[in-house]
Amino acid sequence: MASQSKPSLDALRERMHSNQQTGNVKPDDPRRQVNVDREGGIRFGEAGGNPSQQTQLPQDTYSGWFGTGNKPADRRGIERRIVAKKLPRNTRVFTTAEGTSGWLLHFNCEYGDRYDIFIYFDGTFYQAMVLAPEVERHWKSPHTGHIFSDGRICLSRNYHGGQPTLDEAFAKTVVWATGLTAARRFNVPFPFNHNQ
């Protein structure tokens, strides 16, 4: 993960912990920002890149509290524009057997592990589910692996555990995947919550 344009896991954890502790989870200062590019690359804000193809990561904790949100009038049109600019090129529309329509995509986390993800609008917020890899039972908890019992990834303490926008749900999922991979590989607590 360490290169000139990508942050080290330790530097990423320290930046996120610092911003969580100060409550500055979407900082204006690029020196405090974390961005995710459309292919799942994690970068610090000052590293540059094409901002129109990056999403600023909301750096709040991965937790399971609830909030409220709004529905955009032309949600599907807005989603298509976000997918075209900010989500992986492999993203496609998918409808589950239960009739839930959303976006199916995959990316490799910073450790190189592939994650298959389904992101959908629940009527109020964007939720994400990990389809692959299979996650061990120990990690299927909102407190250890930040996965709810219904299979959703717990992306925030607000927004019913999701995110208000599709690209923010993707960005939080990318960083969650890197954190979960580190926790599983090294048998450590999830690294991106300051209180864990």
- What integer pLDDT is reported at residue 174 of this predicted model? 95
23: left (phi over 0), alpha (psi -120 to 50) or beta: left
- Which sign, positive or negative, has the C-alpha torsion 175, 149, 114, 81? negative
Residue 75 lies in a domain: yes
- What integer pLDDT is reported at residue 7 of this predicted model? 65
Residue 110 lies in a domain: yes
Residue 2 lies in a domain: no
Q: Is 135 helix (H, G, I), strand (E, B) or coil?
A: coil
- What integer pLDDT is reported at residue 6 of this predicted model? 62
Residue 46 lies in a domain: yes
- What integer pLDDT is reported at residue 72 of this predicted model? 46
Domain limits at 113?
9-186
Provide CB contacts within 8 A for 155, sequence distance 6+. 62, 127, 128, 146, 161, 162, 163, 169, 172, 173, 176
Tell me what the pLDDT averaged over the chain comes to: 82
- What integer pLDDT is reported at residue 69 of this predicted model? 41
42 phi and psi angles, rounded to 5 deg: -100, 130
- What integer pLDDT is reported at residue 22 of this predicted model? 81
Give 140's strand partners. Answer: none
The tally of domains found in the chain comes to 1
One digit per residue, pLDDT tens: the chain, 196 residues? 333 356 677 888 888 888 788 887 788 888 888 888 888 888 887 777 777 788 887 777 765 433 334 444 577 888 999 999 999 999 999 999 899 999 999 999 999 999 999 999 998 999 999 998 888 777 776 667 788 888 899 988 878 889 999 999 999 999 999 999 999 999 888 888 777 6
Q: Is 23 helix (H, G, I), strand (E, B) or coil?
A: coil
Instruction: Give the type of residue at 93.
Output: V
Residue 65 lies in a domain: yes
Half-sphere exposure of 178 (CA within 13 A, CB side): 24
